[in-house]
Each structure stands twice: as C-alpha cells, then as structure tokens.
Amino acid sequence: MDSVYFDNAATTQMREDVIDAITDVMRYNFGNPSSSHSFGRSSKSLIEQSRKTIASCLNVSASEIIFTSGGTEADNLVLKSAIKDLEVSHIVTSKIEHHAVLHTIEELQKTHKFSLSYVNLDAHGNIDYVHLETLLQADKKTLVSLMHINNEIGNILNIKRVADLCKANDALFHSDAVQSVGHYNLDLQDIKVDFLAASAHKFHGPKGVGFTFVRKNTGLKPQIIGGDQERGLRAGTESIHNIVGLEMALKMAYKNLDKEKLYVKELKQYFINKIKFDIPEVTFNGHSADLNKSTFTLVNVCLPIPPKKAAMLLFQLDLKGIACSKGSACQSGSSQNSHVLSQILSDEDLQKPSIRFSFSIYNTKEDVDYVIAVLKAFI
C-alpha cells in the first residue's frame, strides 16, 4: 500500500464536485463583487446564494453568516470584539480549547483588563456543567467560549445545554464548531449560541475560507478594517471561488450526511476493535473510543511504547506512507506535549506516544488493516 491518509481532523480531501465548482468560478466569474458592473454583480450573486445555502443548513438568517478565511479568523473576530466592543469583562473557557481561542485570549490579556475563568474538567476531558453554572453567577458581562467537538480527543460538548445555561444567566456563548459543522446537524434556532466558527476544509471543502455565525443584534464589530464587505464585519475582497466551494462542500455534506456518517462510524468502530485485538495494551484518550460520547471522525490512542523508541514513531509511520497526527495539525511539528492531553493524562502516560487517527469517506478497512499491522510491527 503506497499511502494511507488518517489525518482528516487536520484537513480533508476536496470532493470532485467541489473542485469543479471552484474551477468554474475561477474561469468565468472573476469580477470584483464590490463592482457595480455586470461582472461584479455576477460575482456578488454567487456569494449571496452561497450565504443563503449555508444559512439554510443551520436554520438561520443569511445576514447572520459572515465569511472569513477560516476558523481561526472567526474565533479572533468574536473574542476580540467581545472584549473591545461588547463590554465583556469576564471570559469563561477551558484549558483544552483550540489555540485559536486560548492564544487569542492570552494576547487580549496583555492589552485589556478582564477576568478569566477556566471551567473544571473531569478525567476524560469533559467540562463540569455544575461548575460552569457557578462561574456564570459572576456579576459581570460574560462570554463563554467552549468548542463543540474537541479536535484532539473528539469529546462532544452538550452545546444546547451550555447555550441554555448562558441564556439563563445573560451570558454570551461562542463555540468553535470547526470539527462539527458538516458532520452534525446544527439547528441554531434550537441551539441559542450567539457566535459559531466553521472552516470549509474540515468537511471536504477548500482551505482558506470559513464563516462566523453572528446572531442578530449582538453588536459585534469588525477586526479587519477597510471596505464594507460582509455587512461591514469583515473588510477585504471576498474569495468568491472559495466561498462557492464552501457552499458546495456543506451542501453535499448535509445531503449525504446519514449515509456517510454511518460509513465513517463503522470504520472507526472497526479500527477500535482491530487495534484492541492486535495491540491489547493500547488505551484511548478522552472518550474517543466511545461512539456515543465522541465524534465518529477520530480516535486518539496511547500506545505501549517506551519514550526513546516513541520519538521515532511518527517518522516511521511517515516512511510507511501513513499520515496521522500526535495532536492538532497546528502543533504536530512541535516537540511539546499536547496541551489537551496534558490536562487529562498521568505523567506516566504522557511519556508514551499518543496518536490521533481521523477518518473520512475516502478511507477503507484495508487502510485500517495496514496501519495497525505497521503499528504492531513497530511495537
């Protein structure tokens, strides 16, 4: 076998229909959407049609969808404006959020005064909802920022419960939903989240484009200043071909959701069963082996390999054509431990290699067999 791609939580292969849609736009719709002539109007209409499609998938108004360069920009937009413009004086988050959230908060602390609270986590990385409710009792304007699905261990947040808690306590709620949009149905009329971030390349769309859901009348202000694009919330000429690619990818993801979710879910279960049988000493991080408590798209395993040998594991997997990750793609080149696993694993388990394998519709059981055979031989 030449190669196996099991790093879909980092990025996904684009669908052929998405590539075709992008190519058509690049070839025929090159006008600047801010221009008033026919070329500009043609481009603008594509953007607005994409906005309507995406809004329909989430059951929101088209005016509540703001296109960005991806999830990181979406997170930055919400967090920075919340502190600078919305008079938020208290942020509640967790220590296992994506660095797009944690590092943005760290930077904001250097220039703005606000209190910061971390919600307690259990041994599996789940948030303590009772503690969250206690933190919301603070007599301050509060923004809660908690991701829907953790990108490293796959734990699923009860996003509706958090949204309801925030609403009951007059707090704003922002969720990084990069790992769930396109994989789970999200009805944002039922889930009263105020802000939500998504990125196209996580659901077989192009890189460099995503969106922020901004509920009406929240008062959010732009952080990239320039023209009046995106309802004045995100200046800069829109990437039309990427936006259309995002629309096509999301539309196809939800059109095929039930069938594709079942396929990937069965593949994950096959991986779990196979690795347990062939490598009995393996353990699973977070709730990643529980299909009811974690996303169907990934599993994070802790392997019984001594530290000196573990240093060569990813290198050896790469030599065998296997793509996977020791954490999020944003830190896979780092020698540091995962900030997520550091919160939930013992010192002893942190010395062992933990690998994230993430799946898509383009993977097969033969891929699983090959990867586990290589792991077993290495061990």
One domain for residues 308 and 345 = yes
What token pair was written down for 209?
Answer: 């484009």
One domain for residues 44 and 175 = yes
One domain for residues 213 and 334 = no
The type of residue at 217 is: N
Q: In whole angstroms, how far apart are CA 172 and each of 127, 214, 325, 356?
A: 18, 11, 33, 32
Local structure of residue 13 (DSSP, 8 states): P
One domain for residues 271 and 140 = no
One domain for residues 203 and 267 = no
Q: Which domain holds residue 189?
A: 16-255
Q: H/E element holding 348?
A: helix 347-350
Is residue 57 annotated as a catalytic residue, yes or no? no
Final residue of a structural domain among 255, 272, 295: 255
What token pair was written down for 296?
Answer: 């169907």
- How many CB atoms lie under 10 A from the CB of residue 221? 14
Encode the chain (379 residues) as per-residue pLDDT tens digits: 789 999 999 999 999 999 999 999 999 999 999 999 999 999 999 999 999 999 999 999 999 999 999 999 999 999 999 999 999 999 999 999 999 999 999 999 999 999 999 999 999 999 999 999 999 998 999 999 999 999 999 999 999 999 999 999 999 999 999 999 999 999 999 999 999 999 999 999 999 999 999 999 999 999 999 999 999 999 999 999 999 999 999 999 999 999 999 999 999 999 999 999 999 999 999 999 999 999 999 999 999 999 888 889 989 999 999 999 985 444 444 456 799 999 999 999 999 999 999 999 999 999 999 999 999 999 9
One domain for residues 88 and 152 = yes
CATH number of the domain bearing residue 372: 3.90.1150.10
CATH number of the domain bearing residue 166: 3.40.640.10
One domain for residues 186 and 49 = yes
One domain for residues 154 and 268 = no
One domain for residues 200 and 291 = no
One domain for residues 274 and 222 = no
Number of structural domains (the chain) is 2
- How many CB atoms lie under 10 A from the CB of residue 213? 26
One domain for residues 50 and 122 = yes
Final residue of a structural domain among 255, 273, 292: 255
The answer to whether 261 and 183 are in contact (CB under 8 A) is yes
Final residue of a structural domain among 255, 284, 308: 255
Which pTM value belongs to this model?
A: 0.95
One domain for residues 231 and 360 = no
Say which residues have a Cβ less than 8 Å from residue 254's Cβ, sequence separation at least 6.
57, 182, 185
